[in-house]
Structure 1
Amino acid sequence: MGEAKRRKKNLGDNYGKEERLYPWLPLTKTQVEQAYNLTTKGAWIGIGIMVAVWVTVRIIGPGFGWWVVD
């Protein structure tokens, strides 16, 4: 008996289905990896926005403040 047939016999109905991360968590390993990639990309976008706001407030903002009279 080949390895694939042995695996199919052992897994039964679960053969060909993706394995879950934890048995009690309804997420597959691929879904967890996609969520991780999405949050990582979102974090980098957030860091970029934060740097842009910082540059605007710290450098560009005071440049326009010369005409404001107290």
Structure 2
Amino acid sequence: MENNLIVLEAPALGGTYIGRVYALGGVLRAEVLRERGSHLEVVTKRSRFPTVDAAYAWLREQPALGQHARLAA
């Protein structure tokens, strides 16, 4: 599996967050990254999802993004 990225925007927080889903060593993982100038900072991460859809659902529900998060166009 290659990396799959989705961009989540949280306008109320004034930031852009990137949700990344990837497989490493046969384990499906996901993490939320926040843009900080020219680099990315890990906000939260989790591993061992049963499916890619489950990982995406977890990303969309993260408290770091709050209820204002939406998929970027």
Identify whether the pair has TM-score above 0.5, normalized to the shorter chain: no
TM-score normalised by structure 2 residue count = 0.24
Structure number with greater Rg is 1
Higher strand share: 2
